[in-house]
Amino acid sequence: MHITQLNRECLLHLFSFLDKTSRKRLAKTCHKLLEVFQDPFLWSLLNFHSPVELKKDNFLLGPALKYLSICWYSERVKVCNIEDWMKNNFQRDFCNRHENTVTDFLLEVCNRCPNLLSLTLSGCGHVTDDCILLLLKNCPNLRTLKLENCVRITDQTLEAVTLYGSSLQTLHVDFCRNITQTGLERVREKCPSVTLRAERSANMIPDNKPGKKLMLEKASRKLVQL
């Protein structure tokens, strides 16, 4: 039996075992397999391992998307996590190349994926509070929000959780250095049913630009941490 003789349900099941790129390659072989590739039900789960992957035309966004993760663990993440006021020209140029990539993608998710249940972002140093706020507003069924090493996330995101995260069950804000203990306590007070984890976040040094004297103190404290 040729693969194209299988019914739609079987083909969807076979496609589900392939990664995004393999699905796209197989879809190029004939119209029937292309239709399977374009079936929204095939795209309920999406995992990305770098911002570059978000630009590849090998996936579909739609109401069927339930689980999304963008986890960037490259050494290049360290450049994005440097405080903006401390970056040199080379570092700024590097960040400018992809500064809006993840944010623009998440805005598309806001518009196309209202049934999202779980979002994980790790190493996404340019994602802002405003972006997370829109996601919480546009994805009212979101149950799990995990943010790790997202340095621009502040207590504004925690406030948005208390206002719009009515379905939220799990919230992680690990290694987000601009989160404060006050913000965490507010979430615990307003959303007692939410499982909250904030490893290191409230104990890390925030991005507020200090005076010259405090800059030296901050640098020495970071050396001690290393």
For the chain, list the domains and their CATH numbers: 1-40 (1.20.1280), 43-201 (3.80.10)
Instruction: Inform me whether the pLDDT recorded for 73 exceeds 60.
Output: yes
Residue type at position 217: E
Sign of CA dihedral 84, 85, 86, 92: positive
CA–CA dist 69, 83 (Å, integer): 24
3-state helix, strand, coil in the chain (%, to 5): 50, 15, 40
pLDDT in tens, 182-220: 999 999 999 999 999 999 998 887 887 655 445 545 555
Q: The tokens 């990664």 sit on which residue?
A: 19
Percentage of residues in the chain having pLDDT higher than 90 = 73
One DSSP character per residue, 157-220 reads HHHHHHHH-TT--EEEEET-TB--HHHHHHHHHH-TTSEEE-SSGGGS-------HHHHHHHHH
Q: What average pLDDT does the chain have?
A: 90
Residue 54 predicted with pLDDT over 70: yes
